Amino acid sequence: MSHDLYERAVAIAERAYAPYSNYLVGAAVRTRDGKVFEGVNVENAAYPLGVCAEKSALVKAVSEGYRPGDIDAIGITASPCGGCRQWLYEFRIGEVTFRSAAGELVTYSAAELLPDTWDLPA
């Protein structure tokens, strides 16, 4: 399991920019070759324009040349929203670890978090 990534996410969550909700989220993704990219949520006064921590970390990885299938795990300080679940699914992430609403550390695959997924037809 990706408890180490979860701990990294907890450690960086304080860097989040969340002046409207004060809800700080951190995420850390690990690539198949062992590189780790961290991200935090960044809010904006035009609320839908904010960026979730998961997306922030994934964008860092993509900007370094990683693609779907290259990332094997992510740790997040909160349960991912529906939009982030689609991102996690698209990147085919096998281990998604976060603290559940019940307070326990859980790990699922992206496919388990987003059943009956939508894919762009070929």
The domain ranges of the chain are 3-113
In what order do the strands lie in the sheet containing 71-76? Answer: 36-40, 26-31, 71-76, 95-99, 105-108
Place of tokens 């991102």: 87
Pick the CATH number of 3-113 from 3.40.140.10, 3.40.50.1700, 3.40.50.300, 3.40.190.10: 3.40.140.10
Residuewise pLDDT in 10s, the chain (122 residues):
579 999 999 999 999 999 999 999 999 999 999 999 999 999 999 988 999 999 999 999 999 999 999 999 999 999 999 999 999 999 999 999 999 999 999 999 999 999 888 777 76
Any idea which residues carry the catalytic annotation?
54
